[in-house]
């Protein structure tokens, strides 16, 4: 068989030459497009389910959320194990699959199974899937450099409601996580003595504020041959300044006694303030606001970083003086790894050619053998491209 192959290659030299050129071209293209990372992904094939239930103890989270979810997710096809963890106000369930199970197929099966368990969970509790990324998906860190007159709370709002959503729209980005600063809240600081004086439970205030923050739609009214839609506007803060929003909440009626309304301002103080936090972002001794860009599973990190940096450059003109400064990206590590690998392959190929020449003492035969060495490397990249293997 080998003799037949050799005879064919000698007779059909043009075909072999064209096939070799095509193979080299496809291998070169594959080497440029195969997802390339400096850090091998040795993590398990897993899907994570996150559930928030604010204010609840770890014991409540375990009994009412983590345990029912863990039991239900054990029925997911292809799953090897289900592990749960309960924290204050937060539940974390990890479903691990066999390595040969497709990542997105596993996510769809877990999402399908979650629909069967939603009825057994507490009201207003909705489990969600974690972003479609791996533990090594954090490829780009950045901070926001504000103008002198901007505080950390306003800077965090810019990050949460503008920069974050803009970067999440970049192709290949799974999530942008905000870090640092203060999340602004409208806080209702209730006076317990006033509650006792008016004999009003705390739940009444909570229900009143919730009920006042809603738009109401009705039917239509015909007038002059035209039809007008009736709408009652009630969303707190809609088109209002910060002080007007505080006044709206303060003037909310909790209940009425003998025709006299008892308002939120009679029971509590309404103000803006920072949400509770358990950490901060420090940059060179100064507190800062920033974010972490997480790459989607299976993407090429260098390409994603290039698209993120292009998006950052286009955003800065719309941020009112805020500068986005990248403090870490994986490109440098990848480039250095590729340079080391390229240098090593070049040196090994050269040494192999020298050894072949010394053994064969025939330059033409040595060159023929030497050509196959880089072709073998390109063939490996071509196979990786065809079978979806990452170069990490």
Q: What is the pLDDT of residue 49?
A: 92
Phi, psi of 213 (to 5 degrees): -100, 70
Phi, psi of 282 (to 5 degrees): -110, 130
Q: What is the pLDDT of residue 332?
A: 84
% pLDDT > 90, the chain = 14
Which residue reads 């009994």 in tokens? 63
Contact call for residues 186 and 246 (beta carbons, < 8 A) = yes
Give 238's contacts (C-beta < 8 A, 6+ positions apart).
none
Nearest-angstrom CA–CA distance, 295 and 305:
9
pTM over 0.85? The answer is no
DSSP H or E run through 243: helix 242-250
Beta bridge mates, 231 = 217
pLDDT confidence band for 293 (50 / 70 / 90)? very high
Nearest-angstrom CA–CA distance, 225 and 68:
57
SS3 289: strand
Phi, psi of 329 (to 5 degrees): -145, 160
The residue length of the chain stands at: 392
Nearest-angstrom CA–CA distance, 98 and 80:
6
Comparison of pLDDT for 326 and 238, the residue scoring more:
326
Residue 338 tokens read as 């590729």
SS3 391: strand
pLDDT, one tens digit per residue, over 331-381 is 888 888 878 877 887 788 788 778 877 887 777 777 777 777 778 888 888
Which residue reads 């996150």 in tokens? 50
């Amino acid at each position: 068989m080998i003799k037949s192959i050799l005879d064919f290659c000698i007779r059909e030299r043009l075909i072999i030459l064209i096939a070799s050129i095509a193979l080299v071209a496809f291998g070169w293209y594959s080497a440029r497009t195969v997802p390339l990372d400096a850090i091998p992904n040795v993590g398990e094939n897993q899907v994570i389910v996150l559930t928030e239930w604010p204010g609840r103890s770890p014991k409540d989270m375990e009994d009412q959320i983590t345990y029912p979810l863990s039991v239900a997710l054990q029925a997911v096809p292809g799953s090897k194990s289900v592990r749960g963890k309960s924290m204050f106000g937060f539940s974390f369930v990890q479903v691990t699959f066999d390595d040969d199970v497709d990542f997105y197929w596993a996510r769809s099966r877990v999402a399908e199974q979650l629909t069967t368990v939603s009825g057994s969970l507490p009201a207003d509790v909705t489990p969600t899937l974690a972003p479609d990324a791996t533990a090594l998906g954090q490829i780009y860190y950045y901070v926001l450099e504000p103008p002198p007159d901007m505080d950390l709370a306003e800077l965090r709002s810019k990050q949460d409601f503008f920069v974050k959503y803009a970067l999440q729209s970049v192709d290949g980005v799974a999530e942008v996580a905000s870090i640092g600063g203060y999340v602004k809240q409208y806080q209702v600081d209730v006076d317990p003595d006033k509650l006792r004086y008016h004999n009003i439970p705390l739940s009444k205030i909570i229900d009143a504020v919730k009920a006042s923050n809603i738009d109401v739609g009705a039917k239509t009214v015909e007038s002059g041959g035209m039809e007008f839609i009736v709408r009652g506007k009630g969303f707190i803060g809609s088109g209002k300044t910060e002080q007007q929003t505080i006044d709206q909440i303060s003037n909310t009626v909790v209940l009425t006694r003998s025709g006299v309304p008892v308002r939120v301002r009679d029971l509590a103080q309404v103000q803006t303030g920072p949400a509770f936090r358990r950490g901060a972002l420090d940059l060179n001794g100064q507190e800062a606001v920033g974010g972490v860009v997480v790459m989607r599973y299976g993407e090429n990190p260098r390409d994603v970083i290039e698209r993120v940096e292009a998006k950052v450059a286009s955003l800065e003109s719309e941020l009112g003086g805020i500068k986005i400064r990248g403090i870490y990206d994986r490109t440098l590590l990848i480039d250095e790894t590729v340079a080391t690998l390229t240098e090593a392959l070049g040196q090994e190929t050269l040494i192999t050619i020298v050894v072949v020449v010394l053994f064969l003492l025939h330059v033409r035969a040595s060159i023929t053998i030497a050509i196959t060495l880089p072709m073998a490397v390109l063939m490996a990249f071509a196979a990786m491209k065809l079978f979806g293997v990452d170069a990490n």
